[in-house]
Amino acid sequence: MGEASTRGVRLSTERRLSTLARHLGGHSLSFSSSLGSPPMASRDPNEFIAPCPTAGFYGGSVFANVAQAPEDAILGVTVAYNKDPSPIKVNLGVGAYRTEEGKPLVLNVVRRAEQMLVNDPSRVKEYLPITGLADFNKLSAKLIFGADSPAIQENRVATVQCLSGTGSLRVGAEFLARHYHERTIYIPLPTWGNHTKIFTLAGLSVKTYRYYDPATRGLNFQGLVEDLGSAPSGAIVLLHACAHNPTGVDPTPDQWEQIRQLMRSKGLLPFFDSAYQGFASGNLDADAQSVRMFVADGGECLTAQSYAKNMGLYGERVGALSIVCRSADVAVRVESQLKLVIRPMYSNPPIHGASIVATILKDREMYKDWTIELKAMADRIISMRHQLFDALRARGTPGDWSHIIKQIGMFTFTGLNKEQVAFMTREYHIYMTSDGRISMAGLNSKTVPHLSDAIHAAVTRMN
């Protein structure tokens, strides 16, 4: 270390110790800042540090009392998988698409968009506005609400670019906690594990509504209607736009219509989580129908969109929050308040992922290419459903496994219990969430037999 920097360190140590001493005793322990006679030499620093209960300068950590936190229920599965040296291990935990070769996929259209961005010398790395990339926001609203949506044409939608689906949900929740009169949000039982944490931390009070019926492995529509029917007027209701996670069970269009009528009649506020648009049916418009139904009636709603899955942009963290309002002037004020939520949280969102999405969405050819690649991903997942179902039937595995082909989207909610899951991980190195959810997108033709063997063994030996 050079002399200048040694001096710098000494000066800053002196300053910190002075501050600490003031903080501890309030009395004036003045240090000479003369560099020739460092205060450390003349005073024992422990003399005044010792009374502080968190003192950790000399040995112990000020964080010594921090408890070890458990791993995340979903992302922790990948942590455990990564530690397993077994060559036959399979990760069906996190909902991330893999190719037939078991590899992560960067869509060709995404590669092309990135190449175009890199080759464009006019592109700079300036901050985006607090609300994100304007083009991206407009195109995202069009994608979920439809190009001909009256809400868009009437400028009634406030859209802000956020950090993927999670960030969009969090910003929406923070906004509601500050500006909406009813603090209770109803989430389906079960739901994506992060929902409860996001909404609670934002200051909302979380309650559940019945959604899944383990007996039928389908929708508990009656329970859903009863629970929303007895929710307090004005309560917020979290709805999965399509491909419900973790159950893979969606209401039919007819049931959606009944949910809409019930919610509107009670003034319940819909908050859509759209993390899988295009992944359920392979068609972007079809997967947005539930949301569009609610927007078509002229009422208000919130929508959190993610491009993690449908464009394979997981790590780019690109998504959008749209709030559909009654009128354009409300939308303007809502946007102004969203900026006050975002600015102290992360200031403004990242530019790269949103630029990729905007490049693709605004070019007719690239958009078409995207839909083809998206459909191929959705089709491969559906084909995995059939392969797994056939493989279990061929093994004569006890039970009715038809839910594997009936469920929608990225996941199958197998019905396997915690012990069976633990057994499959221990004996077969198959990693999945403990609620029995498997990511069908992580499977391929080579791993289906291994998974079927594991399920067969778990069901016959562990029930």
Residue 378 beta carbon to ligand KET: minimum distance, rounded to whole angstroms: 16
- Segment interacting with ligand KET (CB under 6 A) among 30-38, 137-145, 162-170, 278-286: 162-170
Asked whether position 95 contacts ligand KET by CB under 6 A, the answer is yes
**Which residue from 244, 246, 274, 165 is spatially nearest to 414, judged by alpha carbons?**
246
- Respond yes or no on whether the N-terminal peptide bond of residue 398 is cis (omega within 30° of 0): no
* Interface positions, 332-371, toward ligand KET (CB under 6 A): none
Task: Answer whether 354's CB lies under 8 Å from 318's CB.
Answer: yes
Q: Which of 249, 295, 308, 354 binds ligand KET (CB under 6 A)?
A: 308
277 touches ligand KET by CB under 6 A:
no
**Smallest separation (angstroms) from ligand KET to the CB of 266:** 24
Q: Closest CB to ligand KET among 240 and 260? A: 240
Nearer to ligand KET among residue 271 and residue 389 (C-beta): 271
Q: Which residues of 19-33 are buried (b: 16+ CB within 10 A; e: fewer)?
A: ebbeeeeeeeeebee
Among positions 190-219, residues that touch ligand KET (CB under 6 A) are 192
Q: Is 154 helix (H, G, I), strand (E, B) or coil?
A: coil
Exposure string for 252-288, b = 16+ CB within 10 A, e = fewer: eeeebeebbebbeebebbbbbbbbbbbbbbbebeebb
Handedness of CA 96, 98, 103, 106 (dihedral sign): negative
Q: Which of 307, 258, 254 is nearest to 279 (CA)?
A: 307
Which of 91, 159, 161, 166 forms a contact with ligand KET (CB under 6 A)? 166
245 counts as binding ligand KET under rule CB under 6 A:
yes
- On whether the CB atoms of residues 378 and 280 are closer than 8 A, the answer is yes
Q: Which pair of structure tokens corresponds to residue 27? A: 């009395």
- Helix, coil or strand: residue 437: strand
d(CA 70, CA 4): 45
Question: Interface with ligand KET includes 381 (CB under 6 A)?
Answer: no
> Smallest distance from the beta carbon of 250 to ligand KET, in angstroms?
12
- CB closer to ligand KET, 282 vs 319: 319
Closest CA to 246 of 8, 421, 386, 44: 421
**Would you name the residues annotated as active-site residues?**
192, 273, 309
**Burial bucket for residue 221 (CB in 10 Å: 0-12, 13-18, 19+):** middle
- Return the number of the residue (168 or 359) whose C-beta is nearest ligand KET: 168
Q: Which is nearer to ligand KET, 98 or 156 (CB)?
A: 98
User: Which residue, 21 or 410, is less far from ligand KET as judged by CB?
Assistant: 410
Q: Cα(124)–Cα(117) distance, rounded to whole angstroms?
A: 10
Pick one of 140, 306, 355, 452: the residue that binds ligand KET (CB under 6 A): 306
273 near ligand KET, judged by CB under 6 A: yes
Q: What x-and-dash track marks residues 39-78 binding ligand KET by CB under 6 A?
A: -----------------------------------x----
Q: How many residues contact ligand KET, by CB under 6 A? A: 15
**For ligand KET, which residue of 275, 320, 378, 458 counts as binding (CB under 6 A)?**
275
Q: Which residues bind ligand KET (CB under 6 A)?
A: 74, 94-95, 164-166, 192, 240, 245, 273, 275, 306, 308, 314, 319
